[in-house]
Amino acid sequence: MILLPGFVSKLMTMADSSVRIFFDAQELEPVVLANLYKHRNNAGIMAFIPDIAELTDEDKEMLDGIGKRLQGDGSPSQRLRNKIFKYWKWTNEYRKNHGGEPLQGDFEDFYVYKMGQMMETIEKRMQ
């Protein structure tokens, strides 16, 4: 878990209805910054606590429950979806950096396509 004092500086609604949250932190120790970079492009949970003194026992129990669920990194299907998302982002970055065109469509289109490919591969192996 990484705890950072800071503030929400900007919110943006994205084309796919997700929300981009800009969180500005004070100057960070190099080890904390390295830990953040290690988790770049990974899914996770962010809890914004405006005043830690107001954190109730119920809040603490909720945070503890989230932490316990995350220890297993989610269900196998959630982990697979996260890996496909990372692959989608990597593919787009690779193409952009090597003069290629980005993939057509959004992540959901890519996800459905890749899941279809996996199902076809399994079907072929069962024949």
Specify if 1 maps to a domain.
no
Do both 66 and 96 map to the same domain? no
Locate tokens 């692959």: which residue? Answer: 87
What average pLDDT does the segment 16-40 reach? 87
pLDDT digits (tens, 9 = 90+) for 75-107: 778 778 888 988 888 888 888 888 888 888 888
State the alpha helices, DSSP H only, in 17-106. 30-38, 57-70, 76-97
Q: Please say whether the dihedral angle defined by the alpha carbons of residues 87, 28, 5 and 69, taken in this order, is positive or negative.
A: positive
**Which of 45, 70, 95 represents a domain boundary (last residue)?**
70
What is the span of the domain harbouring residue 11?
6-70
Q: pTM of the prediction?
A: 0.44
Locate tokens 């390295």: which residue? Answer: 34
What average pLDDT does the segment 96-123 reach? 89
What average pLDDT does the segment 16-25 reach? 88
Do both 27 and 64 map to the same domain? yes
Task: Residue 24: name the closest of 8, 40, 2, 48 by CA.
Answer: 8
Using DSSP, state whether 121 is helix, strand or coil.
helix
**Which of 49, 70, 91 represents a domain boundary (last residue)?**
70
